[in-house]
Amino acid sequence: MTETRGTGETRETTTPGFGHLLARRTAWGRSDAIGRILAAANAPGVLSMAGGIPAPDSFPVSRLAAVTDRVLSRSAAAALQYAPTEGVAAMREAVAARAGETGAAVGAERVMVTCGSQQGLDLVARTLLDEGDLVALDDPGYLGAVQAFRGAGAQLLPLPTDRDGMRVDILEDRLAAGARPKLVYVVPHFHNPTGGVLDEERRRALAGLAERYGFLVVEDDPYGDLAFDGERLPSTDVHSDRVIRLMSLSKTLCPGLRVAGLTAPAGLIGELVAAKQSSDLQTNTFGQYVLAELLGDPSFLPAHLTRLRTLYGDKARATAALLRERLPWLVFDDPRGGLFFWCTVDDPQVTSDLLYEHALAQGIAIVPGKPFCIEQDGSRVLRLSFATLDEEQRQEGVSRLAAAFAKARADAG
């Protein structure tokens, strides 16, 4: 069946027999593209450079085991109980402390603990967006955000992006021409998928535009702590109060506990908490106790982040060298942090979709760029993760990609 929404856009639903029962909004944010690609990547024998997942050896397993024991022996009654919707006090304080180290100082009363930043995106979208409202974002963009905003009925204002992040000058032109976004969504460090870092001047300009035009900046920053040189720029919230920060811990600690922080202006936090209450009451109490205890140890995070930056920096450099040596048709900038290469296939005949099909047949999964692209041409771009393969798998994966390219070329020509 086909759904039409307020924006005039139509989409297919995939529920034969039940389509007439679905709410109209059910179809709005729906996209199965990445789900299908990641399912294929998990097939037996397939090596994957597709997922945006952290390396298992990045998880602080022994420290987590020790704090888990401590929490259970000292605080089991509270740690296994229901907790306030806004979050356990110690976790809110830990998030506020981390927010202050990486941006403007905030009190714990402006923090909400969410079930991952993806939930933060959903709550922001549900709380602030009416059908037809405009959201500006980088194109290509993070698909989870696109889904959350579209799911709330928003119209998207895609903006070009480069190595220094969103083209804020183009946003300014669009605002001057009358565009009125409610939200401007940015991934400020090592953008997924492009790897761009929103530079200092653009952060300042964005904050100035937020003040002038009255929109909110949603800053979603899962990768800021993964700069290989350890440098990170302060959050846009040092320049404006009109910023919501989504502070995922998935890439720096582990995604499995589903605990993240969100900071919001004082006038909004209560609305976001109310939206969360109707959604899931609260984030996992036990996970909050464990992570608050871990983050409360001042010796833990700096040493852990140093280890992660070395781990990922080494993987990125080794993968870059191998790709350049073996796959001269793949063009990319060296990542400065994060988990990904954003690449262009420099061949007139081979599209990234064609390469993807052949890569899968050879047993190596990649993500073709089209699902990330809103208006930009995604036909020759693709995302590769360097995070999870070890040395031997990397060699094998790149050999499979070389074979896939040769077959794709033969196929195309």
Per CB under 6 A, 222 contacts ligand PLP:
yes
Termini Cα distance of the chain: 37
Does 196 bind ligand PLP (CB under 6 A)? Our answer is: no
Between 41 and 327, CB nearer to ligand PLP: 41
Continuous H helices in 85-167: 89-102, 116-128, 143-151
* Closest distance to ligand PLP from the beta carbon of 1 (Å): 30
Residue 262 makes CB contacts below 8 A (sequence gap 6+) with: 111, 112, 113, 114, 117, 120, 123, 244, 245, 246, 247, 272
Least gap, CB of 172 to ligand PLP (angstroms): 24
Q: How far is the CB of 28 from ligand PLP (least distance, A)?
A: 19
Determine the Cα–Cα distance for residues 241 and 211; give it in Å rounded to an integer.
Answer: 8
Rule CB under 6 A: choose which of 255, 287, 337, 397 binds ligand PLP. 255
Helix (H, G, I), strand (E, B) or coil at 265: coil
Among the residue ranges 248-256, 268-276, 313-321, 358-366, the one whose residues contact ligand PLP (CB under 6 A): 248-256
Question: What value, to the nearest 5°, has the Cα angle with vertex 371 and ends 367 and 373?
Answer: 115
Q: Are 217 and 202 in contact (CB under 8 A)?
A: no
* DSSP characters over 278-322: HHHSSS-HHHHHHHHHHHTSTTHHHHHHHHHHHHHHHHHHHHHHH
Query: For residue 19, which amino acid is it?
Result: G
**Smallest separation (angstroms) from ligand PLP to the CB of 31:** 15
Q: What is the widest separation between alpha-carbon atoms in the chain?
A: 68
Q: Where are the beta strands (DSSP E) in 7-55?
A: 10-12, 47-48
Q: Which residue in 29, 103, 144, 224 binds ligand PLP (CB under 6 A)?
A: 144
Binding of residue 147 to ligand PLP (CB under 6 A): no
263 touching ligand PLP, by CB under 6 A: no
Is residue 181 part of the contact set for ligand PLP (CB under 6 A)? no
Alpha-carbon torsion (154, 160, 161, 167), positive or negative: negative
Applying CB under 6 A, does 58 fall inside the site for ligand PLP? no
| 302, β-bridge pairs | none
Task: Provide the minimum distance between the beta carbon of 119 and ligand PLP in the complex, in angstroms, as a whole number.
Answer: 7
Q: One symbol per residue from 90 to 129: x for binding ligand PLP (CB under 6 A), - otherwise; what is it? A: --------------------------xxx-----------
Which residues in 23-52 contact ligand PLP (CB under 6 A)? 52
Q: What are phi and psi of 374, to 5 degrees?
A: -95, -60
Residues 6+ apart with CB under 8 A from 170: 159, 160
Q: Which residue is nearest to ligand PLP (CB)?
A: 116
Structure tokens at 235: 């959050």
Cβ 355 to ligand PLP, closest distance in Å?
A: 22
Residue 202 CA to residue 16 CA, distance in Å, equals: 47
Please state the closest distance from residue 339 (CB atom) to ligand PLP, in A: 8
Helices (H), 153-284: 168-176, 200-213, 266-280
Of the two residues 117 and 388, which places its CB atom closer to ligand PLP in the complex? 117
- Which residue lies nearer to ligand PLP by CB, 161 or 248? 248
Decide: is 85 part of the binding site for ligand PLP (CB under 6 A).
no
**192 touches ligand PLP (CB under 6 A):** yes
**Nearer of residues 194 and 362 to ligand PLP, judged by Cβ:** 194
187 is an interface residue for ligand PLP by CB under 6 A: yes
Q: Quick check: 142 binds ligand PLP (CB under 6 A)?
A: yes
91: alpha, beta or left, given left = phi > 0 and alpha = psi -120 to 50?
Answer: alpha
Cα(315)–Cα(385) distance, rounded to whole angstroms?
10
Shortest distance in whole angstroms from residue 259 CB to ligand PLP = 8
Is residue 185 a contact point for ligand PLP (CB under 6 A)?
no
Nearest approach, Cβ of residue 165 and ligand PLP (Å): 13
State in angstroms the smallest separation of the CB of 221 from ligand PLP: 8
User: Which parts of this chain interact with ligand PLP (CB under 6 A)?
Assistant: 52, 116-118, 142, 144, 187, 192, 220, 222, 248, 250, 255, 260
